[in-house]
């Protein structure tokens, strides 16, 4: 019982960290939006990503914090918080690694494939990255609860998949590469500490997996 209680305490502590990390992320991007709006979005133009422009490569890191309108940042904030929290609640340290991979792949993908006539900015590439990560993490980590979460998120936010299609005036390239980075992150940052179970019947496998998840949750 003590080990079960410690596991539950650790998960609650990580979930609390995940919550405040995402709150902090949202606070930062909303605070940046104020001077960006006052300057007629000069920050987005200067620190965004322009394809094939070497001077804009640092924008791969800064662009996710910048947006083009209040509607833009409002549209990103809800999914960013939901998918970000679900990506981080099992461990903030791993989450930061996943985030770095998504930012790098999404930004470079857009830099190589988007139109050089435009400048890309916004957190939507990260949103799609977290979305992809949440969808597959349970499969790679063999966590039954996370598999259920991934299925629920896929069904609840199925409309998000339309953002992966080419659309005029939208940086869909960052969406696509962010999503692919999230899928890759599920494998790269998979939980290697979980021992593989001994061969058993499908019924035993399902029951054992469910009991392990309940144990992880302290139930």
pLDDT the model gives residue 11: 82
Helical packing angle, 70-88 and 2-38, nearest 10°: 160
Q: Given CA atoms 7, 22, 153, 61 in this order, what sign does their dihedral have?
A: negative
pLDDT the model gives residue 10: 81
pLDDT the model gives residue 124: 96
Confidence of residue 193 (pLDDT cuts 50, 70, 90): confident
Domain boundaries, the chain: 2-216
Within 89-197, residue ranges assigned H as helices are 92-113, 124-141, 144-156, 172-188
CATH of domain 2-216: 1.20.1540.10
Q: Judge whether residue 178 has pLDDT over 70.
A: yes
Q: What is the pLDDT of residues 49-78, one digit of tens each?
A: 999 999 999 999 999 999 999 999 999 999
The pLDDT mean for the chain works out to 89
120 SS3 class:
strand
Distance CA 129, CA 164 (A): 11
Distance CA 140, CA 147 (A): 9
Q: Judge whether residue 218 has pLDDT over 50.
A: no
Q: What is the pLDDT of residues 107-146, one digit of tens each?
A: 999 999 999 999 999 999 999 999 999 999 999 999 899 9
Q: What is the pLDDT of residues 139-176, one digit of tens each?
A: 999 989 999 999 999 999 988 899 898 988 888 999 99
Q: What is the pLDDT of residues 20-34, one digit of tens each?
A: 999 999 999 999 999
The residue-averaged pLDDT of 96-116 equals 97
Which residues are bridge partners to 120 per DSSP? 49
The residue-averaged pLDDT of 33-46 equals 98
Per-residue three-class SS string for 2-51: HHHHHHHHHHHHHHHHHHHHHHHHHHHHHHHHHHHHHCCCHHHHHHCECC
The residue-averaged pLDDT of 176-182 equals 97
Q: Which tokens is 93 given?
A: 């340290």
Name which residue leads in pLDDT, 91 or 210.
Answer: 91
Distance CA 218, CA 58 (A): 44
Q: Judge whether residue 190 has pLDDT over 80.
A: yes
The structure tokens 């957190």 sit at 123
The residue-averaged pLDDT of 191-198 equals 64
């Amino acid at each position: 019982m003590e080990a079960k209680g410690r596991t539950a305490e650790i998960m609650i502590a990580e979930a609390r960290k995940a919550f405040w990390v995402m709150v902090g992320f949202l606070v930062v991007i909303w605070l940046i939006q104020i001077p960006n709006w006052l300057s007629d979005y000069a920050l987005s133009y200067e620190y965004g990503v322009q394809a094939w422009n070497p001077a804009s490569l640092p924008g791969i890191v800064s662009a996710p914090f910048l947006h083009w309108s209040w509607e833009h940042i409002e549209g990103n904030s809800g999914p960013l918080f939901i998918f970000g929290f679900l990506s981080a609640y099992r461990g903030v340290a791993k989450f930061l690694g996943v985030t770095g991979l998504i930012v790098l792949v999404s930004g470079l993908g857009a830099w190589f494939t988007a139109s050089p006539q435009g400048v890309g900015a916004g957190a939507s590439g990260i949103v799609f990255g977290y979305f992809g990560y949440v969808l597959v993490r349970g499969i790679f980590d063999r966590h039954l609860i996370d598999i259920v979460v991934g299925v629920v998120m896929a069904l609840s936010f199925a409309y998000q998949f339309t953002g992966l299609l080419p659309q005029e005036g939208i940086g869909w390239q960052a969406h696509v590469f962010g999503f692919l980075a999230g899928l890759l992150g599920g494998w790269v940052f998979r939980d290697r500490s979980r021992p593989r179970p001994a061969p058993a019947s499908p019924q035993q496998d399902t029951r054992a997996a469910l009991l392990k998840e309940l144990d992880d949750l302290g139930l």
